[in-house]
Amino acid sequence: MIRTLIVDDEPLARRGIRAHLKEERDVEVISECSNGREAVRAIESESPDLVFLDVQMPELDGFGVIEAINVERLPAIIFVTAYDTYALRAFEVHALDYLLKPFDGERFHKALQRARAQIERRSISDLSHRLQSLIDDLRTNQKYAERLVIKSAGRIFFLGVEEIDWIEAADNYVRLHAGRDTHLLRETMNNLESRLDPSQFLRIHRSAIINVGRIKELHTLFRGEYEVVLRDGTRLASGRGYRDRLQELFGNSS
């Protein structure tokens, strides 16, 4: 039996998918979710075999759901989307199936048959790689992140990037400093840097990114390095390989 989760913020869309699945004897709908946060909790607690996942949902979209769950618990995914032509080509290039709203029964059952084959092959490890490649591909055509999804103590919340003072590397995570609070995010410094607006965030060291709006003072050190003082008193030393970025930011050619 294929244990299936339906995720869509539109009740009518969820009912439509359930109706298409009604005659599928090897499919059991175990739950429905109306938003991304519910979807993450359901995937982690129910471990479905297959998820029909709406891409465009408020707050936490389909890609945010993918990023928030553990790779080892990743089910087969059929994206449900109203995306534009470029995004549809991206789905096809990365061999990830999608249903373009509105879809008919023939297209639905074709996608379901592909999912069956994927589940039978148990090719989930390959799926995780293709999903990440898809997300990276689509991001090159999207604006910079405005919010980050934070998982902490069994809850999921959103942190606006404007709230971040600075970011430091922490093994396989990054630590986000926002006022008196700190948050761990499972992300590499390089990936996170690529998601942040370079006019707002500046990497000054291989293990430190700062919000340029939080800079209070800049002190010259030896060998062309700098000490950056933030408004909250935090002092951070720049790496030699990053000094040109600070010089360019402050128009200092020395």
Phi, psi of 253 (to 5 degrees): -95, 0
- DSSP code for 144: P
Looking at 3.40.50.2000, 2.60.40.10, 2.40.110.10, 2.40.50.1020, the CATH number of the domain 147-250 comes to 2.40.50.1020
Q: b or e along 158-197 (b: 16 or more beta carbons within 10 Å of the residue's beta carbon)?
A: ebebeebbbbbbeeeebebbbeeeebebebebeebbeebe
| Residue 76 near residue 118 (C-beta atoms within 8 A) | yes
Q: Which residues have a Cβ under 8 Å from the Cβ of 30 and sit 6 or more positions away?
A: 3, 4, 5, 46, 48
Nearest-angstrom CA–CA distance, 237 and 244 = 14
What ranges do the domains of the chain cover? 2-139, 147-250
* AA identity, residue 131: L
What local confidence, expressed as pLDDT, does residue 195 receive?
79
pLDDT, tens digit only, all 254 positions of the chain: 999 999 998 898 999 999 999 989 999 999 999 999 899 999 999 999 999 999 888 668 888 888 888 766 678 889 888 765 646 665 765 657 788 888 889 999 999 998 888 787 765 556 666 777 776 666 665 567 788 888 777 777 888 999 999 999 998 789 999 999 999 987 888 878 877 888 899 999 999 999 999 999 988 887 768 899 999 999 999 887 787 777 777 765 44
| Residue 200 near residue 161 (C-beta atoms within 8 A) | yes
CATH architecture of 2-139: 3-Layer(aba) Sandwich (3.40)
What local confidence, expressed as pLDDT, does residue 53 receive?
92
